[in-house]
Chains A and B, each alone.
Chain A
Amino acid sequence: MNYALHLLIYLSIYGIVAISLNIVSGYCGLLTMAHASYFAIGCYTYALATTKLGLDFIPAVLLSAIVASVMSLAISLPAWRLKGDSFILISLAVQQMFFSLFQNWTTTGSEPGSWANLTNGTFGLSSIPKPTLLGMHIADIASTAALAGTMLITCLLLSRLLLLSPWARLLQSMRDDELASRGLGKNVRLAKVQAIAISCGLAALGGALYASYVNYIDPTVASLDESMLVLCMVLVGGLGNVRGPLVGALVLIAIPELLRFVAIPDAIASNLRLLIYGLVLILMMHYRPQGLAGNYRME
């Protein structure tokens, strides 16, 4: 039972991140490799806000989302000019820089979380408190799962409302033909900043939830592999609609769990999981480039 709840929590976390990535990749047509950085910004902001500032769950989560949204300017301003391969590269650059920042903002001897040793380097931040919500202390796995599920559903509803609005139609027009969209008087630069900020804010929400669940974070949450995993999810699930990313998150979380039922030595289980991700990506590109449930094909 605990195992199922654990899976539900993971599904919620990655579901939220996949939903957020879909806004950038599916509706703006920009493949970003920097999404794990914003997930990690969420993790770190949450961790610092709860341990250092002593904030409650909701204020800490909101703070993470806001910090990530502001940081998202690092990829949204270059997106004014760059698209395609160039944008992928700049997002990669942003990803690497954030990763180095998490890894290197450290001074031996200072207390973790202080200004000189903000991220505590590769050792990461530990003993992040369990969430406290409206005076309730959410410590056991069942209530955490309920919290995570609620957050997933909230995000899903938010994204549904957003993605059926004229704003999403504006994004789609910009994705199809940016010049034509500008010729109709649309401020596509503002729209890109908004979309990327909202997306990164949502990713940070997922990150905060993750930090509160595992109680310990280190720079690997910001690694390129993490970005790729989320990218796999939206690509497998499909871009450009509300349900695609959720399908992707479900599939990619289910695959490795199914492997547990086959007797495989633990040592190679994680390698095998990645191997399967790779295979899935290749097969998708050959046989279903629009994803399992998507309606937009990445150009």
Chain B
Amino acid sequence: MQILINGIITGLSLALLSVAFATVYLPTRVFYLALGAVYTLVPFIALACLQCSMPFYIAMLAAILTGTVLSLGCEFFNHQILEAKRASSGAHLISSLGIYIVVTQMAAICWGNETKVLRTGLDNVQHLSSVILTQTQEISFVIASSLLVAYYVWLCRSKVGLLFRAMADNPAEFALRGHNLHAMRMTSFGVSGFLCSVSSLLVAYDIGFDAHGGLSSILLAVVAVIVGGRQSFAGPLAGAIILGVVRCLIVWWLSAQWAEAFTFGILALVLLVRPDGLLGCRFRLEAAA
């Protein structure tokens, strides 16, 4: 039970990240590794703000804002230009990787390579019947789940959410219906940057952060997207929670070192056996094509 709860809570903050990745990947097909740059930079900004003795909430907001702006910048200065040149998806991926490397190394030069913490002092621990929860876990559960609920409500109920799903389905038809593709792409990068920043802060608050963990976190999120199914917005959520629980089980039974191997083992298995992911299904339309 304890493991299950831990897994779900880890899975939820991973879900924020994988939803952030899918938010860009589904509509634009950009393999957005630069999200790792956002993930790395945000806690450093928060830390810098705290060190300037800003109030905690202002510091967090400033960090999230920076993350969102960085993500928008990636689209504006890189992906949009490549898209206009009709560059291949490989070019998007590699340039995105380039951005990741540049930003993280700059962060490392400015703030050093060591692991840092946002939280000072020990955590409060609460016992709920047989389950032990830390205060940090509670905070991250509340924030992650409420953000995810808000995201899915926005996606399914609002006008912009509809536009968003439409763009993910078929960008060309989306433009033919008279909707501004550029603006919508910017929105997706912005939303993605926002979700990623929050996820990054939650993890950094819980276990600390350094300048080099971004890529592996993003890759974990990508695995969750693939495992869950990359055609739909529900896939990443399911995939992330499954991964969160499985990883907690592995840490419990074996050791933390094997978590990566098992994660990528699951990825390989899913890619070979169900390339569309666990939630993936083919429509009549695609079957006939």
Contacts and interface: CB of A to CB of B under 8 A. Distances in A.
A94 B101 contact: no
B129 interface: no
B95 A282 contact: yes
B289 to A, nearest CB: 15
Contacts of A96: 260-261, 263-264
Contacts of A84: 89
Contact of A285 (B98, B113, B223, B271): B98
B87 interface: yes
Interface in A250-268: 268
Interface residues of B, number: 43
Contact of A278 (B90, B99, B265): B99
Interface in A204-244: 224, 228, 235
- Among A82, A271, A285, chain B packs the most CB atoms within 10 A around the CB of A285
B97 A92 contact: no
A52 interface: no
B101 A78 contact: no
B247 to A, nearest CB: 13
Interface stretch (B16-24, B103-111, B193-201): B103-111
B100 A299 contact: no
B132 interface: no
A45 to B, nearest CB: 20
B114 to A, nearest CB: 11
Contacts of B219: 92
B74 to A, nearest CB: 10
Nearest to B101: A278
B100 A278 contact: yes
Contacts of B31: 85
Interface stretch (A1-9, A10-18, A97-105, A136-144): A97-105
Nearest to B25: A85
Interface residues of A, number: 41
B146 interface: no
B76 to A, nearest CB: 14
B268 interface: yes
A275 interface: yes
B271 A89 contact: yes
B92 to A, nearest CB: 8
Interface string B245-272: 0000000000101101101110110011
Given A92-B264, A278-B98, A299-B88, A271 B108 contact: yes
B81 interface: yes
A90 interface: yes
A78 B102 contact: no
- Among A224, A281, A284, A298, chain B packs the most CB atoms within 10 A around the CB of A281
Contacts of A299: 88-90
A133 B100 CA distance: 44
Interface in A275-299: 275, 277-282, 284-286, 289, 297-299
B91 A285 contact: yes
Nearest to A85: B31
Contacts of A224: 215-216
B105 A99 contact: no
B271 A274 contact: no
Nearest to A86: B271
A75 to B, nearest CB: 10
A153 interface: no
B208 interface: no
A279 B106 CA distance: 11
A281 B98 CA distance: 5
B285 to A, nearest CB: 21
Given A78-B272, A271-B109, A298 B91 contact: yes
Contacts of A70: none
25 contacts: A81-B272, A84-B89, A86-B271, A88-B93, A89-B226, A93-B265, A93-B268, A93-B271, A94-B268, A96-B260, A97-B264, A97-B265, A100-B258, A224-B215, A224-B216, A271-B109, A272-B109, A275-B105, A275-B109, A281-B95, A285-B94, A285-B95, A286-B78, A299-B89, A299-B90
Interface of B: 31, 78, 81-82, 87-95, 97-102, 105-106, 108-109, 113, 215-216, 219, 222-223, 226, 255, 257-258, 260-261, 263-265, 267-268, 271-272, 275
The 7 closest A-B pairs by CB, nearest first: A278-B101, A281-B98, A100-B261, A93-B264, A282-B98, A275-B105, A278-B102
Given A103-B257, A235-B94, 6 more contacts: A82-B275, A86-B271, A93-B267, A97-B268, A268-B108, A281-B95
Interface of A: 31, 78, 81-82, 84-86, 88-90, 92-94, 96-97, 99-101, 103-104, 224, 228, 235, 268, 271-272, 274-275, 277-282, 284-286, 289, 297-299
